[in-house]
């Protein structure tokens, strides 16, 4: 009888310790995944920022709309560069190549190029005297799958060069 009681206590204690260990490992995995997502989004913003800030001010193309999931512009070398969201693979791509890791699931990516207009009578006037030199980027990135430990963030970037260097 004593053997049966001690075996039952051992099984209960082992189950409790196993449950605690499993929970700890899962939480650690979730935190590591979120850290990877944050790093991927930061790397994407850094890469995009570097290329936009050295690009030229009259080159933003957002597929003829104010908001889009892709952005095309001319970089410092006067090459046309496209950043976009591949919604089949859920990755951020630059020129067709993925720049986010496999564990980062990009649920949403929007580029907003502002164009503010005011209607006055029969005419519409724009506050911008030329093409926009700023873009706002909105990203919703998750760990491994949609709506799993998601991070929503945004940044606004401006071009610093307005004319190509000779």
Name the token pair of 161.
């060069």
Rounded to an integer, what is the distance from CA 85 to the centroid of its chain?
9
What's the CA gap between 12 and 14, in Å, rounded?
A: 5
Contact 60, 82 (CB under 8 A): no
Beta bridge partners of 160: none
Contacts of 5 (CB under 8 A, 6+ apart): none
**pTM more than 0.95:** no
pLDDT tens digits along 113-164: 776 555 555 544 444 444 566 788 999 999 988 888 899 999 988 877 665 5
The larger pLDDT score, comparing residue 162 to residue 15, is at: 15
CA 18 to each of CA 14, 29, 31: distance values in angstroms, whole numbers, following the listed order: 6, 16, 20
pLDDT of residue 57: 56
pLDDT tens digits along 24-45: 998 898 889 899 999 999 999 9
pLDDT tens digits along 62-74: 544 456 788 888 7
DSSP-derived secondary structure letter, 61 = B
pLDDT of residue 127: 43
| Burial status of residue 91 (CB atoms within 10 A of its CB: 0-12, 13-18, 19 or more) | buried
pLDDT of residue 92: 93
What's the CA gap between 44 and 91, in Å, rounded?
A: 11
pLDDT tens digits along 88-122: 899 999 988 999 988 899 999 998 877 655 555 55
What's the CA gap between 137 and 33, in Å, rounded?
A: 22
The larger pLDDT score, comparing residue 3 to residue 131, is at: 3
pLDDT average, residue stretch 16-30: 92
pLDDT of residue 162: 60
pLDDT of residue 10: 93
CA 106 to each of CA 25, 46, 57, 62, 110: distance values in angstroms, whole numbers, following the listed order: 25, 17, 28, 19, 11
């Amino acid at each position: 009888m004593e053997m049966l009681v001690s075996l039952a206590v051992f099984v209960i204690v082992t189950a409790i310790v196993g449950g605690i260990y499993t929970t700890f490992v899962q939480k650690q995995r979730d935190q590591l995944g979120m850290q990877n997502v944050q790093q991927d989004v930061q790397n994407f913003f850094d890469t995009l920022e570097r290329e936009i800030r050295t690009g030229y001010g009259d080159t933003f193309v957002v597929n003829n709309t104010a908001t889009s999931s892709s952005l095309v512009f001319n970089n410092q070398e006067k090459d046309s560069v496209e950043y976009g969201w591949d919604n089949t693979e859920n990755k951020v791509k630059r020129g067709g190549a993925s720049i986010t890791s496999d564990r980062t699931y990009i649920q949403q990516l929007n580029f907003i190029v502002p164009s503010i207009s005011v209607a006055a009578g029969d005419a519409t006037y724009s506050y911008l005297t030329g093409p926009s030199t700023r873009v706002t980027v909105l990203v919703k990135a998750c760990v491994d799958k949609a709506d799993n430990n998601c991070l929503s963030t945004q940044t606004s970037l401006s071009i610093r060069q307005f004319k190509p260097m000779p």
